[in-house]
Structure 1
Amino acid sequence: MRINSIYAFASMAMSLATSVFGGPVIMGYYPSWKRAQSANVDWSKYTHVNMAFGIPSSSGTFSFDGDWFLPALVTSMHSAGTKVLMSVGGWTGSNYFSNIMKDAGARSTMITSMVSYVKANSLDGIDIDWEYPGRLGDNCNVFDVVNDTPNYLAFLKDLRAALDAAFGSRQKLITLAVRVQPFEVNSVPLTNVSEFAKVVDYANLMQYDINGGWNNVTGPNAPLNFQQGEGLQVSFVSAINDWTAAGFPANQLTAGIGFYGRSTIALEDMTKDPKNQYQPQSQLVPLGDSEDAPWYDVCAGTTANSGVWQWKHLRDQGVLTSPGTAAAPWVRQWDDVSQTPWLFNPSTKQFISYDDPQSLQIKIDYAASKGLAGAMIWSVNMDYNNELLDVVRTFKTTATATRKRSTDAKAPMPLSSPPAPAATAVDM
């Protein structure tokens, strides 16, 4: 799309008037149902934290089950210099987005609710995690392959106008959690998403959950590159390429990092073919770490395990004795294409694909070389002695990666001093 000359001039003036950001964006998601497990997180190591999740109703309002502890947490995060946003949606919270976006009354209600919530809780903005515009995410979700994406853009323009009217131009952030491919219309990714970039500050690429128990073969949860003909043909690299090729500026993208792995059950002893991480697997997903449990998916009408292994439990439950060393009977392998490690237990035939400091360093360096703004992490409660976070924080912004938003210089100080959702592909 053609950029309006007035907008281009204003953007240039804004860019020249603001200073280069002193470091990368380090954005973490805080799951409200993991409050106890997040108690010792050092917020000064994050530039932004997205509170997960505000759950929309069909009318356009939303609710957050952490309202009772949010004020104290915002105060603590702001004191550490960290911006705080409310993330609305998530895997199990996106079922009403499509209908809200196409209904004028519900759209207006949602925008009013977001502006009011930001004001009431001294927040720095809104993150929207719609999974997904124009395609099915959770089985309960309504979606419209033709209208979701254009409706979403119209909504974001209205939300930007409302936030600017209430707080001043660009004083509050809008960020988006997005798929590895650009938004779709008629099931085809757009080749131009530049209009979205004009009204939002960052798009956070969800470059994980690419392969898992839903496949017929084992494979990498978060490949740097995909193996031709094996697994889903998308990756960390392809996501960056596709979004930037579609006109989303690299310095408004954050690289998505999962502090967890996924386990499945192979049908054969994978150590007999140790260079091949794509081997037949059972559709029965095993229990993951000590925090995993069978959960009931009301939409699918089934009960299953997530199979998730958080990094901290790979380290403290006797799977890894060091970041790069497996404890017997587990065997660690490295895949040269996906640039990720994987583990196999010959006794149980469990396979685990995950990221470790070695694979994360490769991803962080690649994202930085492409001029991305920084990294997004799911989620803040999953690390072990900051072993992964410290790697993410080595992100080196390029000389040209300036922040266009003057509000990103420093987090403002605040104005004044439940049951967990079921774990899913995103809500873990």
Structure 2
Amino acid sequence: MKLSVFAFAVFAFGLAQPVLGKPVTIGYYPSWKRAQMAGVDYSKYTHVNLAFGIPTSSGTFSFDGDWFLPQTVTDIHSKGAKALLSVGGWTGSNYFSNIVKDAGTRSALISNMVSYVKTNNLDGIDIDWEYPGRLGDNCNVYDITNDTPNYLTFLKELRAAFDSNFGSRQKLITLAVRVEPFDTPSGYASDVSEFAKVVDYANIMQYDINGGWNADTGPNAPFNFESGKGLQASFVSAIDAWTGAGWPANQLTAGIAFYGRSTIAKEDMTKDPNNQYQPQESVVPLGDSEDASWYDVCAGSTANSGVWMWKHLRDQGVLPSTSTAAAPWVRQWDPVSQTPWLFNPGTKQFISYDDPQSLKIKVDYAASKGLAGTMIWSMNMDYNEELINVVNAFGSGSSVAPAAENPPKADEGADAPAPQSSAPAS
């Protein structure tokens, strides 16, 4: 922990203050969106995770941003932020299970990570395995019995290698994780404290909880879930699940989505405007101007993501202000999920997203629970810093939202597929 005037108080309350006393703000930088990163202010972040390094079955990995990495790392460091390579992602997790179960390939991946960090002056590695013990992308190998213990072995060995090459705790290891702890044959891992001893931060992906894979419309990133409606998981339940399994709050970051997801309702949702859970079509529409149909080799199908970045909700005229919709769009606010949603009666398009109002509720709550800070997917999606400025107010003493009324049981969790176009999710 860094020294500060309030070091003792910070320790007493278990709050992480790793960079000049600031809460952690981790942003993901998608390499394929480099052109859209030009206006991003790295000083608004404490850590930047460059996504993604893609592992091979032999324990090597490649990053398609190698050609711009040196200058980008220099730029990130010049703004006082740390630079990490994120390895994995939705389409990059195919081989993790086989890699970590074999001592040889574990060693190869670790050696390649050490070399890459050293060569590129990085501050560490972020691992986005989607997911230990369960299927993510259709091409992924997974082993529900052995993935979680093998993952721990791998992380212990990676920590030892980092410490021996760079000095004790001089390089970071962070993880992108689901809304529930790692899977085991008996359910979610009940004790993840050993992971936390060798990992600096777990970044919870508290979004993509509901989407086009459901039968009904619903919130992309609910603060609370509504009992019996949508997936019974939420921002609040995810924090409870991880801390309840022994992960220290001050080593957790709360996942924030700078985007929303769209689907097509089967009926006019304005006829029941207080209900955001209504039957939807199975085909997902195109989202914003950056969305496009893409072919998933593993699924053997072509689909749209339906993603609407915050910046395009604003600059494509859907939201002329942060809290008002332009006709024919109608904006509603759900008091349980504490998120806004939009509906177009003409096209029957539904969009669930986060805005400054909903993010403030989440940020204030995460701070009240002693979390280290926030994680954002992704940095290129903001508009005039409207969202990052809310996130940067973490721990400023703002009002706190109420706790969940319907916390999940220990055996309930998020079984929906992760998103196919966003990640660190995913």
Please give the TM-score of this superposition, normalised by the length of structure 2.
0.90
**1:89 aligns to what?**
88
The answer to whether residue 398 in structure 2 is matched with residue 384 in structure 1 is no
Q: Is the 8 A contact 2:267 2:348 kept in 1?
A: yes
> What SS does the corresponding residue of 1:93 show, helix, strand or coil?
coil
State the 1:19 CA deviation: 9.9
Q: Is the 8 A contact 1:135 1:187 kept in 2?
A: no
State the alpha-carbon separation in 2 of the partners of residues 304 and 190 from structure 1. Answer: 33
**2:263 aligns to what?**
264
The answer to whether residue 71 in structure 2 is matched with residue 72 in structure 1 is yes
Q: Is the 8 A contact 2:27 2:48 kept in 1?
A: yes
For residues 92-241 of structure 1, the aligned pairs below 5 Å read 92-186=91-185, 188-241=187-240
AA matched with 1:215: N
CA 187–340 in structure 1, closer or farther in 2 if over 3 Å, else same: farther
State the alpha-carbon separation in 1 of the partners of residues 130 and 186 from structure 2. Answer: 14
State the alpha-carbon separation in 2 of the partners of residues 338 and 201 from structure 1. Answer: 30
Q: Is the 8 A contact 2:128 2:424 kept in 1?
A: no
Q: Is the 8 A contact 1:206 1:255 kept in 2?
A: yes
Q: Is the 8 A contact 1:23 1:396 kept in 2?
A: no
Q: Is the 8 A contact 2:339 2:353 kept in 1?
A: yes
CA 72–226 in structure 1, closer or farther in 2 if over 3 Å, else same: same
Residue deviations 1:194-224, cap 9 Å, x none?
Answer: 0000000000000000000000000000000
For residues 401-420 of structure 1, the aligned pairs below 5 Å read none
State the alpha-carbon separation in 2 of the partners of residues 215 and 313 from structure 1. Answer: 24
State the alpha-carbon separation in 1 of the partners of residues 200 and 393 from structure 2. Answer: 22
Gaps of 5+ in 2: 1-7, 398-419
State the 1:305 CA deviation: 0.2
State the 1:427 CA deviation: 6.2
Residue deviations 1:318-343, cap 9 Å, x none?
Answer: 10000000000000000000000000
The answer to whether residue 421 in structure 2 is matched with residue 423 in structure 1 is yes
State the alpha-carbon separation in 2 of the partners of residues 242 and 263 from structure 1. Answer: 28
Q: Is the 8 A contact 1:264 1:286 kept in 2?
A: yes
AA matched with 2:274: K
State the alpha-carbon separation in 2 of the partners of residues 270 and 394 from structure 1. Answer: 34
Moved more, 178-187 or 89-98: 178-187
State the alpha-carbon separation in 1 of the partners of residues 203 and 231 from structure 2. Answer: 20
AA matched with 1:41: V
State the alpha-carbon separation in 2 of the partners of residues 388 and 187 from structure 1. Answer: 39
**1:51 aligns to what?**
50
Kindly report structure 1 stretches of 4+ aligned residues shifted beyond 6 Å. Answer: none
**2:5 aligns to what?**
none
For residues 296-335 of structure 1, the aligned pairs below 5 Å read 296-335=295-334
State the 1:377 CA deviation: 0.1
State the 1:184 CA deviation: 1.3
State the alpha-carbon separation in 2 of the partners of residues 361 and 33 from structure 1. Answer: 29
CA 286–19 in structure 1, closer or farther in 2 if over 3 Å, else same: closer
> What SS does the corresponding residue of 1:35 show, helix, strand or coil?
helix
State the alpha-carbon separation in 2 of the partners of residues 350 and 337 from structure 1. Answer: 21
Q: For this pair of structures, how many residues does the alignment match?
A: 391
State the 1:177 CA deviation: 0.2
For residues 358-377 of structure 1, the aligned pairs below 5 Å read 358-377=357-376
Q: Is the 8 A contact 1:191 1:246 kept in 2?
A: yes
Residue deviations 1:376-396, cap 9 Å, x none?
Answer: 000000000000000000001
AA matched with 1:350: Q
Gaps of 5+ in 1: 1-11, 399-421
Q: Is the 8 A contact 2:254 2:374 kept in 1?
A: yes
State the alpha-carbon separation in 2 of the partners of residues 369 and 183 from structure 1. Answer: 25
Q: Is the 8 A contact 2:176 2:204 kept in 1?
A: yes
> What SS does the corresponding residue of 1:326 show, helix, strand or coil?
coil
**1:404 aligns to what?**
none
CA 371–342 in structure 1, closer or farther in 2 if over 3 Å, else same: same
State the alpha-carbon separation in 2 of the partners of residues 44 and 19 from structure 1. Answer: 18
State the 1:20 CA deviation: 5.1
State the alpha-carbon separation in 2 of the partners of residues 19 and 219 from structure 1. Answer: 33
> What SS does the corresponding residue of 2:165 show, helix, strand or coil?
helix
State the 1:187 CA deviation: 5.9
Q: Is the 8 A contact 1:289 1:307 kept in 2?
A: yes
State the 1:104 CA deviation: 1.2
State the alpha-carbon separation in 1 of the partners of residues 288 and 388 from structure 2. Answer: 20
State the 1:397 CA deviation: 7.3
**1:411 aligns to what?**
none
Residue deviations 1:78-99, cap 9 Å, x none?
Answer: 0110000000000000000000
Q: Is the 8 A contact 1:29 1:49 kept in 2?
A: yes
State the 1:40 CA deviation: 1.1
For residues 326-345 of structure 1, the aligned pairs below 5 Å read 326-345=325-344
> What SS does the corresponding residue of 2:133 show, helix, strand or coil?
coil
> What SS does the corresponding residue of 1:320 show, helix, strand or coil?
coil
> What SS does the corresponding residue of 1:145 show, helix, strand or coil?
coil
CA 335–268 in structure 1, closer or farther in 2 if over 3 Å, else same: same
> What SS does the corresponding residue of 2:381 show, helix, strand or coil?
coil
State the alpha-carbon separation in 2 of the partners of residues 19 and 395 from structure 1. Answer: 12
RMSD: 1.7
The answer to whether residue 353 in structure 2 is matched with residue 354 in structure 1 is yes
State the alpha-carbon separation in 2 of the partners of residues 227 and 93 from structure 1. Answer: 33
State the 1:423 CA deviation: 2.8
**1:31 aligns to what?**
30
State the 1:186 CA deviation: 1.1
State the alpha-carbon separation in 2 of the partners of residues 117 and 213 from structure 1. Answer: 37
AA matched with 2:59: G
